[in-house]
Amino acid sequence: MSYAGPDFDPPQPRRPRRGPLTVALAALVPGALLGWVVYQTVGGGDGASAAPAPRGSAASPAPSTRSASPADDGKQHSGATPASGSLQGKVVVVDPGHNPGNFQHTSEINQKVDIGTNWKECDTTGTSTNDGYTEARFTLDVAHRLRTLLEAQGATVKLTRDGDSPAWGPCVDERARIGNAAHADAAISIHADGSAEGNRGFHVILPGSVHAGAADTRPIVDPSHDLGTRIAGTFLRDTGEPPSNYLGEGTGLVTRTDLGGLNLSTVPKVFIECGNMRDSKDAALLTSGAWRQKAAQGISEGIVSFLRES
């Protein structure tokens, strides 16, 4: 997401195979930072190799290595029939950030909605790479891939938007309500950042404690932190993308209280900024279909780990 947008305020400054690496990554202490240090130690920092799966993670399909382009929207991976599996009976809501139609509906997305702590605009346009590959396209692509992986584990997956429906939005408060109404066992909002060149890496946004107006995140703070920490570890391992070098102090984790999608959620929920679309190195990854499959795999394995323990 672009931090220039109204719902995204500028950031404040400042287990199949067992072994030592498996234990270190699975522990995630303190958070994703330890996973990054271990990852660098084994020479995985360039994303060329992946560490063994952490204890308790699902045996999942290998990431796609076929040639792909931004136009590869992942639809060939979506729409799978839910299978019997370890997540049978679990519900996951996947929220692909923004909407391609937001650019044509600026008056609608500028409507104010109540996010508990204050009022903010319904949604933003999101960001894009310098070559014009939009965040909205990226997030839907990853959401389709993620849905397929989770459905293969037996989960029921609901998307807050899909394809051209709706034409704009939904508003951030409605995105939260979709997860709440589904009684989701876990929810995730997928984004990519729009920061400056040289700022790169992923970060997972956790809900802070909010009790104001329509918002009360207190019951979901702890489970959301668990969910986000697991996703940070598996995303790092599967994609090779480093934790953000400009937010989170190297942990890959950021806590915020200004996001309506988190403030209004009554189910465990996190955001993930998969990388910075305005950085040339990150943009090369985000526009690769093969890498987006790895991103979906990393997110999926974190969610699976969380749901198996919950």
Tell me how far apart the alpha carbons of residues 124 and 143 are, in angstroms, rounded to a whole number.
19
Tokens of 81: 């029939």
- Asked whether the beta carbons of 201 and 250 are under 8 A apart, the reply is no
What six digits make up the tokens of 310? 């919950």
The tokens for 128 are: 């894009």
Q: Has 151 been annotated as catalytic?
A: no
CA distance 140 to 96: 5
Catalytic residue among 121, 273, 301, 309: 273
Cα separation, 125 vs 287, whole angstroms: 18
- Residues designated catalytic: 273
